[in-house]
Structure 1
Amino acid sequence: MKKIIYFLMSWTFIGLGLAFVPNSKPQYLRIDKTQKVYTVAASCGSCQFDMPGEECLLAIKLDNKKYYVEGPNINDYGGSHSKNGFCKVVRKAQVQGKIVDNKFVATYFKLLPL
């Protein structure tokens, strides 16, 4: 009887754990085919783009202007201080979004291969 109770309890906890796994992509991974896609330089704002601030944050260069990015995190695409991380190299990305309060609010962000 104890084995049956333990078995049922374990499957209950597994089921509850799976219930909290998100089943949709984050907003910045969905492309809107009605909006223009920009190819930009993406990197760490403070390490590579000499932007104000001490914290390593994702930034883009769009039309020769630099903007911090809201939405994706700098570590969503690997470690920021790894060999090809945003703090070490400037990468190309495809983005969609708009500029709000001097920040780029990304609705789509796709890092392009090196």
Structure 2
Amino acid sequence: MKKTSLFILFTLLAYIVNAQETPAKTTKIEKKQVEIACGECMFKMDGKGCDLAVRIDGKPYFVDGRKIDDFGDAHADDGFCNAIRKATVTGEIVNGRFKAKSVQLVETKKTEKPKSK
């Protein structure tokens, strides 16, 4: 009885040790222009606060590696909680999240208000 129990135990341990995790699904993103904003406020993603997100090919992803306030006050008039901006990003999508290696905001041209006469 002891030999059988030991055999089963060692077989189970060997299976656990050799079991491989399912590889994470990844998609590499290289210098791609995307939309960037607050996931909850602007992209209507489920979350518990204001978190940075990017929208790649129409699908939003929360960002790991950068924070929403890394780019200024998120609640300013042009902040990520009030405006969707453009950025050029490099990184990879892993298990439904964007792992950022670089995020570079694309500056938009500001137009001057016409002078009143």
Normalising by structure 1, report the TM-score.
Answer: 0.67
Structure-1 separation of matches of 2:48 and 2:102:
26
Structure-1 separation of matches of 2:30 and 2:100:
12
What SS does structure 2 have at the residue aligned with 1:40? strand
Asked if 1:73 corresponds to 2:67, the answer is yes
Per-residue deviation, 1:36: 2.5
The aligned counterpart of 1:108 is: 102
Higher strand share: 2
What SS does structure 2 have at the residue aligned with 1:76? helix
Alignment of 1:35-50 (within 5 A): 36-50=30-44
The aligned counterpart of 1:31 is: none
Alignment of 1:88-103 (within 5 A): 88-103=82-97
Per-residue deviation, 1:108: 0.8
Moved over 2 A (4+): none
CA-to-aligned-CA distance 1:3-61 (integer Å, 9 cap, x gap): xxxxxxxxxxxxxxxxxxxxxxxxxxxxxxxx721000000000000000131000000
Q: Percent identity?
A: 40
Alignment of 1:54-65 (within 5 A): 54-65=48-59
Q: 1:49 corresponds to which letter in structure 2?
A: F
Per-residue deviation, 1:64: 1.1
Structure-2 separation of matches of 1:36 and 1:83:
30
Structure-2 separation of matches of 1:57 and 1:100:
17
Q: What residue ranges of structure 1 are gaps of 5+ in the alignment?
A: 1-34
CA-to-aligned-CA distance 1:87-109 (integer Å, 9 cap, x gap): 00000000000011210000010
Return the index of the structure with the highest Cα Rg.
2
Q: 2:105 corresponds to which letter in structure 1?
A: L
Q: What residue ranges of structure 2 are gaps of 5+ in the alignment?
A: 1-28, 109-117
CA-to-aligned-CA distance 1:56-93 (integer Å, 9 cap, x gap): 00000001111000011100110000111000000000
